[in-house]
Amino acid sequence: MSHPIDRPAVWFITGTSRGLGLELASQLLAQGEKVAATTRSSERLLAALGSGVDTSALLPLQVDLRDEAAVTAAVEQAHTRFGSLDVVVNNAGYAFLGAVEEASPTDVRAMLDVQVVGVWNVLRAALSLLRAQRGGHIVNVSSVLGLTAVPGWALYCAGKFALEGLTEALAGEVAEFGIDVTLVEPGYFRTSFLTEDSLALPSGAIDAYPSLREMTQSHLGLQGSQLGDPARGSAQIIARVRDGVTAPLRQLLGSDAHAFAAAKVDLLRDTLDQSRQSAPATDFATVWPGPAQGPRSRTQAAARRPAAGHGSGSWPTGERAGDQAR
């Protein structure tokens, strides 16, 4: 679906009180778009936008994304207020820095409730509307730490890795309805992400991980000197949505994100090269009837990529929304 050109687009954005979400909302309102903005505090959102932003086309929605009924009501309210729904941006999230064994069950549930369950609630509420109108655009804001993991960020990475898998599958499922999907993977941006009131830490820190305590302090010290400009990052997201052309599923933001991703790809390539001969050793020697191609060995079937296609029963073959290979 191309971006609407005969009217302002309607954007539904989560996590708009700060960071990329706030910047997105601010830029879109300044450009005359309509924005339904979820936040934990409408007052904080309006204060952050300031008096210089025209909020007549803003619908602030104070929503707990973990509450499915509340999320559904918010999406319906946005659709009723503006008459359509064009772009859904799942942006809400927060950081957690601590060792795997330091994360309590409460920490784990809280992170996954926001990064995964909250996104799922928004998608369930929005997809029926997008399918009915045969178009729209979903933007899921992940992180380069959804592609690669580093010590201390296990819980955050777990949420983002889950979001990446969800988004890849989603893109293939909704392509036939004219719905585009973008997976945004930022690096370090100069937002409040690394401030003491945004960076969650384990309540039961263990003395066995002094290096992680040092990492925590270095990250807090990084605040204000991150490479990424949130204004430029938000502008890139908006441009990708408005472009209206088939684009790669993933949108990396920041030279640091690109470097992290390239290093992960190199590591995976080395692993694939080293396991090229050993991987087939677990295959049965019997033949397997492939779909409409007659009997062939399972090793041959695994090595041969099926024809391109979308929908149930087809295998992804490319790097486009609805056409990914992972």
Is 156 noted as a catalytic residue in this protein?
yes
Catalytic residue among 142, 143, 188, 209: 142
DSSP 253-277: ESHHHHHHHHHHHHHHHHHHHHTTT
Task: Write down the catalytic residue from 17, 26, 156, 234.
Answer: 156
- Three-state DSSP at 175 gives helix
Stretches where the chain sits below pLDDT 50 are 295-326
Specify if 2 maps to a domain: no
* Tens digit of each residue's pLDDT (9 = 90 or more) over 153-173: 999 999 999 999 999 999 999
For residues 99 and 174, membership in a common domain is answered with yes
Domain final residue, candidates 274, 296, 314: 274
Q: Let me know whether 269 and 284 are in one domain.
A: no
Q: Are residues 207 and 155 in the same domain?
A: yes
Contact of 114 with 159, CB cutoff 8 Å: yes
Does the predicted model carry a pTM greater than 0.75?
yes
- Based on the fold, state whether residues 141 and 112 are members of the same structural domain: yes
Q: Looking at the domain assignment, is residue 16 inside a domain?
A: yes
Give the pLDDT score at 297.
46
- Domain contains 124: yes
Distance CA 117, CA 123 (A): 10
pLDDT value for 249: 95
Residue 176 lies in a domain: yes
Q: Do 168 and 71 fall into the same domain?
A: yes
Say whether both 270 and 295 belong to one domain: no
281 and 264, same domain (yes or no)? no
| Whether 41 is catalytic | no
Q: Based on the domain organization, do 323 and 236 belong to the same domain?
A: no
Q: Is residue 4 part of a domain?
A: no
For position 147, which CATH number holds? Answer: 3.40.50.720
Number of domains in the chain: 2
The DSSP-derived string for 179-207 is EEEEEEEE--BSSSTTSTTTEE--TT--T
Catalytic residue among 160, 188, 209, 234: 160
Pair (117, 164) in one structural domain: yes
User: Which residues form the domain of 226?
Assistant: 10-274
- Same domain? For 200 and 284 the reply is no
- Contact 148/262 with Cβ under 8 angstroms? no
Q: Does 1 reside within a domain? A: no
User: Per the structure block, which two tokens stand in for 1?
Assistant: 């679906």
pLDDT confidence of residue 255:
86
Contact indicator for 96, 194 with CB cutoff of 8 Å: no
Residues contacting 178, CB < 8 A, separation 6+: 1, 134, 135, 136
Determine the pLDDT at residue 45: 92
